[in-house]
Amino acid sequence: MKKFKGKVAVVTGGARDIGRSISIKLAREGAKVVVNYFNSRAGAKKTVDEIKAFGGEAIAVKADVSNLKDIKKLKAKAVKTYGKKIDILVNNAGGLFARKTLQEFDEEFYNLLMDVNFKSTVFVMQAFEPLMGKGGSIINLSSLAARDGGGGGSSLYASSKGAVTTFTRGMAKELGPKGIRVNSLCPGMIATKFHDDFTKDEIRKIVAGKTPLRREGSADEVADLVIYLASKESSFITGTNFDINGGLAFS
């Protein structure tokens, strides 16, 4: 029996890397998936095509989830396609964009980091929460950086993800009486394009070497935890920020 048969899921930033793995695994478990993307049009099409190839249901919807008008469009498309009930919401969209020190970043860079990583989480939740009911699950993507301040030049990124972890706890209290659970994940070094773009190979090797499991994690391993948190098997878990970092850091 598939875990999410008849359920609808929305995944922001669902076209590549962790978001792609989440979208595909949700669909394999029977969910109808709204795959949000902004720049990754080809990746979104590939993700949806793969889901449809194994008999799943999915649509790709372009939207800048740091923009309230685009969030409304995303919601409207989801409702038009799959109806007025959303069961699973995964706030995965985010980014680092560049590594900058205190004296290097400006107001524009500050706004970009906070909008993409935190504002998007807040207002996507605000938009979709009215469509969710008892048994609904919201999973936000934070980061190990939220716990340790991040690597060099990523203080704003770490701070924006720290806001996500705190907001997750607050929303767990607010939405719990409605039967909606809210949790977040704090991935460590995961083998994705994110680190291909922003982390030097030698640093990745050092971090992997310090990790008790002596390796990086995979997008699929993060997605597996999302599946658990979206399912009834985790029905008494809310307000928790889950470390998934191979033992590199503990709560």
Q: Note if 228 is an active site residue.
A: no
Q: Pick the catalytic residue from 82, 110, 157, 228.
A: 157
Question: Distances from the Cα of 138 to the Cαs of 12, 77, 199, in angstroms?
Answer: 12, 19, 29
Burial per residue of 137-170, b for 16 or more beta-carbon CB atoms within 10 angstroms, e otherwise: bbbbbbbbbbbeebbebbbbbbbbbbbbbebbbe
Hey, what are 107's tokens? Answer: 């107001």
Hey, what are 203's tokens? Answer: 């640093």
CB contact at 8 A, 78 and 34: yes
Residue at token pair 């994690």: 217
Q: How many CB atoms lie within 10 A of CB 204?
A: 15
Backbone angles phi, psi at 111, to 5 degrees: -60, -40
Residue at token pair 């990745």: 204
Pairing of the two strands 241-244 and 88-91: unpaired
Question: Distances from the Cα of 186 to the Cαs of 61, 66, 129, 136, 173, in angstroms?
Answer: 26, 21, 22, 21, 20
**Active-site residue numbers?**
157
